[in-house]
Amino acid sequence: MKTIDQFNFSGKKALVRVDFNVPLNDKFEVTDETRLKAVLPTVSKILKDGGSVILMSHLGRPKGGPEDKFSLKHVIPSLEKLFGKKIAFASDCIGSVAEAEAAKLKPGDILLLENLRFYKEEEKGDEAFAGKLAKLGDVYVNDAFGTAHRAHASTAIIAKFFKDKFCGYVMQAEIDNALKLLNGGEKPVTAVMGGSKISDKIMVIENLIDRVDNLIIGGGMSYTFAKALGGSIGKSLCENDKLDLALSLIEKAKAKGVNLILPVDNVIADDFNNNAKTQVVGRGMIPDGWEGLDIGPESRKLFSETVLNSKTILWNGPMGVFEFPNFAHGTVAIANAVKDATKKGAFSLIGGGDSAAAINNLGFGDDVSYVSTGGGALLEYMEGKPLPGVVALEN
């Protein structure tokens, strides 16, 4: 892939695919600007060269046509604040409206197009739609790693219309940081996997078993392992059709000499809410009518010590229901351990989604090596799958 550092954008209109799929509150204000801030360096480089920028993105999941709540006009106030300049907006992403706005651009200008997913052709990877988007710019830049695993019109198909196509700084950093782990990081290498389902992470776990020294499993998926090992898990989350899979992963880790670490205790609750009655029990000792909502104090200690003694760390997924403060202690403990290990010289990659939210909410974003904005794309890359958005830039 060519990077934007290999090109001078002077006098060029750069069509830049970004990931502005950001959360909005009921007043349509952006509540987390992480993804907006992430593209500042790429856009700044193009403008500094003397180019202009046309930003295109999706937002949410519109059901078949324009919906005001999914309009990208809502991100303009945040963007103007971050860039310190006026941002033009096109009320359509293709056709005469978009073309007229693009034609007006002068060097140093920024134009934001309306939500790409207002057209169903975007997600279908429609070539004619991609061609209409391509008409707007002279060069193509993809800086949306978060959608690189989708073969959509704006993320993959569009690249064939451009001779000059590049990855932006976000895309480049995401791949470079993922490769630090996939190409064999400094040992000991530890992966901390959380979240609710083994089925979401199975391919990643299988790919990582060949690359890590320690594999820590927490969060909802750990109860499937506990049950597979003959334990009682009450009404905790469990994928009953994945019990054999859990056992086979334990065997595979053993065969490869990987230290697979499961919680030794859990904080359990009699109801799924922050103020439920709680108690701490050993793994696989959850009574009927109770459910595990976090790892327990002994597990927090065990997991944290493992992380602290690591040189390369991947963390993907919370250790419990961290949106409830009373069940966030496990996730906070991991966040602190990752921060402290990084301070001691470890490389730490935070794998998007809930882990990124936890790190950022605690104010640790600058205390770890890299916080991915990738989510599903990072997981697929970690699985060893080719990503259509990356492949399109390589051709």
Q: Is 76 left (phi over 0), alpha (psi -120 to 50) or beta?
A: alpha
Catalytic residue among 330, 353, 375, 389: 353
The structure tokens listed for 174 are 């995401």
Name every residue whose Cβ is closer than 8 Å to that of residue 345 and which is 6 or more positions away in sequence: 311
Per-position b or e across 348-359, b if 16+ CB within 10 A of its CB? bbbbbbbbbbbb
The structure tokens listed for 347 are 């490389």
- Please indicate whether residue 194 is annotated as part of the active site: no
- Please indicate whether residue 195 is annotated as part of the active site: no
Cα–Cα distance measured from residue 164 to residue 1, given in angstroms and rounded to the nearest whole number: 11
Beta-bridge partners for 139 = 14
Strand pairing report for 278-282 and 265-269: antiparallel
Q: If we measure between CA atoms, which residue out of 165, 118, 128, 127 comes closest to residue 143?
A: 165
SS (H, E, C) 118-143: HCHHHHHCCHHHHHHHHCCCCEEEEC
Cβ-based neighbour number of residue 79 at 10 Å: 23
Cα–Cα distance measured from residue 273 to residue 323, given in angstroms and rounded to the nearest whole number: 10
Catalytic residue among 12, 13, 17, 35: 35
Strand pairing report for 265-269 and 291-295: antiparallel
- Please indicate whether residue 353 is annotated as part of the active site: yes
Q: If we measure between CA atoms, which residue out of 307, 353, 321, 138 comes closest to residue 223?
A: 321
- Please indicate whether residue 108 is annotated as part of the active site: no
Cα–Cα distance measured from residue 342 to residue 307, given in angstroms and rounded to the nearest whole number: 10
Catalytic residue among 60, 231, 365, 376: 376
Catalytic residue among 160, 197, 256, 311: 197
Instruction: Tell me which residue has tokens 């009518």.
Output: 289
> What's 31's DSSP letter?
S
Asked whether 246 and 225 are in contact (CB, 8 A), the reply is yes
* Catalytically annotated residues: 35, 197, 353, 376
